Structure 1
């Protein structure tokens, strides 16, 4: 009985962790697309109105972003139910947890058949590059090296620190804005 309760608590904790990370990543990707020139260049190539989703199958947590033009992304939240142009889907919550807790790189998870890409693979590679850039900027180098395939050589402390501070500041303000919206009675 205790073993079942412990297992159940661990499953719920993973789910909450993945939900929180998706929310943070959504706000983080929106923030970095307003500040980092390399991310803006990568996103600018996407068609305006392009919708990107990352989720856990079958109906787990998700994040959805829209390219609003000029290389800017807008976080649409976890509950978007419209048409999606590109979706990266983890096959199981445990797989998402491995990647989002930096135990496994995204490229390794894909190679280990832990995720499915639905849409244009070249756009999937581009979005993975954007995710990797964000992780390299906002995470300490030791953690980021575990998360991304290759840590950028050109990302020194003088570029990383202001970039990370800017992203964390924008994320904090946008998450507070979202919490205020959720708290307002309808």
Structure 2
């Protein structure tokens, strides 16, 4: 009886967590594209105006970022100004929660058929590398090693800390600007 009352609250908490993580990730993707040269280089191969979406099917939380050119990404929130070019879709909120709470690596979730890719696979691989680089910066190493396929061997503590601080400051600034608007 108690389980029937708690389950809806657990589902709602997961959904709120995924929504918050998508907001943070979207803003962090924009920030890391301004801070890290490796991410800039990775995203420069994307066409200008390229729209990337990560979402929970069918109409769940989502994040949308656009490549504006020169390796820079811009976070659009959860609404796209036009049809997206690449969509990575979690099949269920529980699957998104597993990945976004770092209990399961993205590659493992894909292998376990928990997500779909709609769009060019080479762009999906590129965006996954960008997401992995972002997670390597903003998460403690112990957690990042659980979240990404391979933790960068050339990412040393001083660079990680400086980049993480710069990313988090930009994310916080973006949140403040959004609240003011």
Output the TM-score relative to the length of structure 2.
0.98
Distance across 2 between alignment mates of 1:79 and 1:38? 27
Secondary structure class of the residue paired with 1:42: helix
What is the alpha-carbon root mean square deviation over aligned residues? 0.8
Secondary structure class of the residue paired with 1:109: helix
Unaligned stretches of 5+ residues in structure 2: none
User: For residue 102 of structure 1, what is the aligned residue in structure 2?
Assistant: 102
Distance across 1 between alignment mates of 2:171 and 2:10? 27
User: For residue 93 of structure 1, what is the aligned residue in structure 2?
Assistant: 93
* 1:52-91 paired onto structure 2 within 5 Å: 52-80=52-80, 82-91=82-91
Equivalent residue pairs, number: 181
User: For residue 139 of structure 2, what is the aligned residue in structure 1?
Assistant: 139
Off by >2 Å, runs of 4+ in structure 1: 79-82
Query: Deviations for 1:12-45, whole angstroms, at most 9, x for unmatched residues?
Result: 0000000000000000000000010000000011
Using the TM superposition, give the Cα deviation of residue 78 of structure 1 relative to its aligned residue in structure 2, in angstroms.
1.0
Distance across 2 between alignment mates of 1:2 and 1:136? 39
Distance across 2 between alignment mates of 1:166 and 1:121? 30
Output the TM-score relative to the length of structure 1.
0.96
Secondary structure class of the residue paired with 2:35: coil
Q: Does 1:173 align with 2:173?
A: yes
